[in-house]
Each structure stands twice: as structure tokens, then as C-alpha cells.
Structure 1
Amino acid sequence: MDKKTDDAPQAEAETAEDGTEIGPKGYYHSNKNRIFVRAIQGEYNLQQKLDELRAQPRVRKAREIKFVDGPQAYSRHYVEPKDNITQLFHIHLEEYGPGGKSQKHGHVNEAAFYILDGAGYEIHDEQRYDWQAGDVAIVHNNCVHQHFNASDTKPARALVLKTKPMFMFMNMLFQKTVEPRSTEPAPGGEDFEVREEEDDHNHPEGGY
């Protein structure tokens, strides 16, 4: 990733129908056409849908799924409804650059963040919760929250598991971006490049 400069152009903002800014244009969370729950239709026995589901790969290769967004918070989306694999889970890997933070947002569904490496903290409804590698951070229902990397020299990673699609299916639709993801690196993270390859990351030397 090229080092940012003061003269770098600002990303165009994406706005909702009511004019509210929802994030930088092109970022994952700014997508106005996200699929939260996929359609299931066809003959009553749904045999075609069953065949499609059973034909899906059972292992998703990290090297085939690139990170999106940045430069403070990156996401690699392993499983979501649009992939035609599951209607229940949304699973993604988050990587926070040095000093990085996520968007500030709220939603109805819960989420669990398994911390793979680094150290940081959460702000949930104005209350701080610290975490480090090996911890699990829980986002409870209906809270406004944000995720922070506490180091200005090292990245942090978390595997996120949430049942957002199931909540959406039950018409629990509320979610809101309060502060979009930043389009500028945090101080200390100007030269950071997201770790696309998995070799030697998050695992002790020689494996478990």
C-alpha cells in the first residue's frame, strides 16, 4: 500500500437515501446492495437448491479471498449469505493496522471476536473493554461499538463470527453506522500493508 500524503485525494462519501453518510465509496460497509439474506425459491421440494448447496466447497481458501477496505481496518469475508453456503453465519477476518480502528456502528445481532494476535480494546456504549491474543470479545445485542488496535507499531487480528443473517431473516433490521471507517492511516500505520498471506501468522513456530 502506498504511503499516504497530505495531498492524497479524499475518498468520495457514500450516502443513504436520507442523505446520511454511510462510509467511503467502494468500502464494504458502504455497499447499498449488500445481500443480508439470500432468496430461496423454486419447486416445493427445493431439490435444486439442495443440490446447489451440497455442491459448494467445504473449505474456503484464504489466498482466494482478498482483504477489502483499509487503511486502518481491513476485512476478509469468508462466509456470508451471498456465497450460497449458509443462511445463518457471517464469518470474516478483521485486521487492524498500527493504531487502527473500525467504524463505529450498532446492530441488533450479537458477534464474537476471537483475537488471533495483537492487543486492543472495544468501546461498547461508551464503556471500554481491553483484549489480547487468545481472548474472545463479545458484542452484545443492540449496543453501539467500535474496535481499536492499542499498538501504534504492530497490527492486530480477530476472527469474527456473527448470526446477522438469521437476525435479518427475523426482521430484526436495525443497524446504523455512526462513524465510517477512516480512509487515512492512523499515526504509525502510514507504511503498513495488510497481511494477505497466512504463512507464519497467528501460529507458533512449527505449528501446534
Structure 2
Amino acid sequence: METKPPGYDEYLRMYMEMVSFAKEELKRRATSPVHVPREKIDREFAGHNWVLLVDPRIGFNSRIIRFWINGFPPGEAENKWQFMGHRHTVEAVIYVLKGYGYSIIDGVRYDWEPGDFLCVPVFAWHRHINLSNEDMVYVASTTGPLSMGIGVAIYEDERFPEYWVFAQKDTNEKKSLIPGAVEIPDAQRGIPEGIDPKEYAGSTAAKIYFDQLTFAEREEQARRGGKVLVKGKDLKFEKTPMGWVAPVVDPKLGFYVKVMSTCVAEIEPGKRSGAHRHLYEEVNHILAGEGYSIIEDKRYQWKKGDTLSIPVFSWHQHFSTGKEPARILVHTGRPAMENIGLMITQQGEVAD
């Protein structure tokens, strides 16, 4: 009888865990929640000013996107300029539902009103000031699950300095968009003194390494130069095989995002969107209208205020049945999949 080497069963278990992952993931996708009705959202939001709508911690099989609704009262004095003053190593896109005011993001003021979008640069301090006489309410999508999953999630909040990782170290560190960059001595930032790149001319390996040394500096500049504010009145809907779509936040539009994209889809009453599936996450929030979606072989009825979480690589199509055009806020993880080379999209039926 052949003797198994020490640890054989454990190694076999781990190997089969990898082999079986794809099929197990299909089961997880099939059992993940899809529809979050407005009634549930309103009920929970009435007792809190922050309610998670899509998040792996509440049963969703989302690995990239977190989506929630948030609100805070008017007046900066009561909040002592500290309400929502924070930064994080995640991408974030905010859509204003109610109220008007402005945000300070990386030291720059951006005025907003209902229908506007804010794309917050990674690790930029930001706070929101409500100037209206009612609560400011917005929905936000971030890439928190991805950052937490790969172990690089940092949330520094002015209300909880005891949990700061970098901000407590240096005044300049609080202004940096790169975690830990400022604590590196100036002489060691970028290409260190004493190293002459000319000595390595023609070396591809050296160029790759020098790019690594200078990456953080370039990244910080690129983030500060990216777009932040999109006014709702400036949305431009254009015809696509999926229907009428207005791109909002996308690396192809000048936004410095690597993981998440945002658009708004519009479907006229009695019309339908195209049908497709893709190898990335998608979260929909119904801004106007009513109708239903076919996701794989299931039908989900929706109305204004509802949220849909589309499972990865699931066929889906939307139908507008109300008296006004349906508008759908769409967040996806498409840029992430493009950046790691796992981008697959298949088009089915074309939109009306």
C-alpha cells in the first residue's frame, strides 16, 4: 500500500478548493440577493442616516462594489466641520438625491445640487457641507470590498483619530493622496541620490524598476489632475446597442479611476434596453420610472428608489412600463476587469 507523504490530504484539499472554485462561485452568484425594494430602504433609512444596500457583509456576492444611501442634516456649526471629514483608499462616486451645498475635496470646493455627481480621488480628504434647509441625501458607490479583500483598505476619519494609520505621522502626510509616501525621506523619493539613470541606459529591467520607484509621485499628480464634478444638467445621452446611455465617470472621460465606472441609462415608456452579460459586477439604482428586469431566467419588478445587484456574467435586460422614462444609475467594475485582462462582454438582443 502506497504511503501518503506528510500533509498530503491538506494539500489535496487546498488544491481541490481552487479547482472547484468556479462552480462554487456560480452557486454563490445564483443565491446572492438581487433586488432591494424602496420600501425596505425607506424603512431602514428612517432609523439611521447610513444604510448599506449592496455589500458582501450583508449577504451579497459582491467583491468590488459597495453601495449605500447616506444623509446628514443642514448646518456646518452643529457638525463642527467634522461630519464626513475622512479619506480612504477606495474609489468613490456620489450621486446627490436631495439638498444642496458643497464639498471640500483635496482642498478644492465643489458646489452640488440634486442630480450632480462627485468622483472622489483615492485617499483625498473630503467633507460635505449641507446649505439647504433639509437633509442632504445621496447614494454612493465605492470599491471598498476590493480594497478590503486585498488588504489595502485604509479609512481615516476625523472623528476617530485613534484609528489613523498615516495622518497622525506628519502634517504633510495628511495632504498626500498616496498612503505612506510622505514618510519616505526626500532623498529616497523617486530615484534616490547617488543613482545615475544614465549608467543603466538601454536596460529594460532598470527602466521597469525606475518606473516603480517613481510611480507614487506620478500617481499623486494624476489623481489631483483628474475630474471630480459632473453636473446632472450636462448629461448627454447617446444611442448604443444597449439603449440610450450617458457616460458619467470613466477613465476614458478623463477621470482617474482604475476600478469603477458610472453611467446613467434611459428607457422610454414601453421600450426595452438591450440584453447582455459581462464578467464584472454591476449595481443599478432606479432614479425614475418603473418597469422590470429579466436577470438570467428571473423577473424583478422595480420602481423609483429600488436597487438591483446584477450577478457577474448574468444575462440581463430592462423593460420600462411606466408613464415616464425610466432612468437607471449604473455602477460597474468594468475598468478593473480591463486592467487585469479579464474583460468579457457578450451582446444579446439590441435595444428598441
TM normalised by structure 2 equals 0.37
1:43-82 to structure 2, matched below 5 A, reads 43-44=211-212, 45-46=214-215, 47-69=217-239, 73-82=243-252
Q: Which range moved further: 47-56 or 107-116?
A: 47-56
Matched, 1:177 2:347: yes
AA in 1 matched with 2:344: F
AA in 2 matched with 1:130: Q
Task: Please list the CA deviations of residues 86-124 of structure 1 after superposition, one character each: whole Å capped at 9, or x if unmatched.
Answer: 111110111111112111111111211111111111111
Task: Please list the CA deviations of residues 141-185 of structure 1 after superposition, one character each: whole Å capped at 9, or x if unmatched.
Answer: 11111011122x321111111111112323322210011223xxx
Q: CA deviation at 1:131?
A: 0.7
Give yes or no for contact 1:72–1:100 (8 Å, CA) kept in 2: no
1:7-86 to structure 2, matched below 5 A, reads 43-44=211-212, 45-46=214-215, 47-69=217-239, 73-82=243-252, 83-86=254-257
AA in 2 matched with 1:156: A
Gapped regions of structure 2 (runs ≥ 5) = 1-207
Aligned to 2:283: 112
Give yes or no for contact 1:117–1:156 (8 Å, CA) kept in 2: yes
Q: Partners of 1:98 and 1:73 in 2: how far apart?
A: 13
Aligned to 2:310: 139
Give yes or no for contact 1:103–1:146 (8 Å, CA) kept in 2: yes
Q: Partners of 1:128 and 1:171 in 2: how far apart?
A: 32
Give yes or no for contact 1:65–1:76 (8 Å, CA) kept in 2: yes
Q: In proportion to residue count, which structure has more helix?
A: 2
Aligned to 1:88: 259
Q: Partners of 1:131 and 1:149 in 2: how far apart?
A: 10
Q: Partners of 1:64 and 1:117 in 2: how far apart?
A: 18
TM normalised by structure 1 equals 0.61
Q: State the superposition RMSD in angstroms.
A: 2.3
Aligned to 2:329: 159
AA in 1 matched with 2:239: D
Q: Which range moved further: 42-51 or 114-123?
A: 42-51
Change (3 A) 1:72 1:139: closer
AA in 1 matched with 2:262: I
Aligned to 2:338: 168
Q: CA deviation at 1:71?
A: 11
AA in 2 matched with 1:86: V
Task: Please list the CA deviations of residues 30-75 of structure 1 after superposition, one character each: whole Å capped at 9, or x if unmatched.
Answer: xxxxxxxxxxx99431333431321223212233341111799321
Identity score, percent? 26
Q: Partners of 2:240 and 2:315 in 1: how far apart?
A: 21
Gapped regions of structure 1 (runs ≥ 5) = 1-40, 183-208
Change (3 A) 1:56 1:173: closer
Give yes or no for contact 2:242–2:274 (8 Å, CA) kept in 1: no
Q: Partners of 1:81 and 1:148 in 2: how far apart?
A: 29
SS of 1:63's equivalent?
helix
Q: Partners of 2:211 and 2:235 in 1: how far apart?
A: 33
Give yes or no for contact 1:121–1:150 (8 Å, CA) kept in 2: yes
Change (3 A) 1:168 1:116: same
Change (3 A) 1:136 1:173: same
Aligned to 2:299: 128
Q: Which has the higher contact order (CA 8 A, sep 6+)?
A: 1
Change (3 A) 1:78 1:116: same
Q: Partners of 1:94 and 1:173 in 2: how far apart?
A: 21
Q: Partners of 1:71 and 1:174 in 2: how far apart?
A: 16
The structure number with the bigger radius of gyration is 2
Change (3 A) 1:108 1:154: same
1:178-193 to structure 2, matched below 5 A, reads 178-182=348-352
Q: How many residues in Structure 1 have an aligned counterpart in Structure 2? A: 141
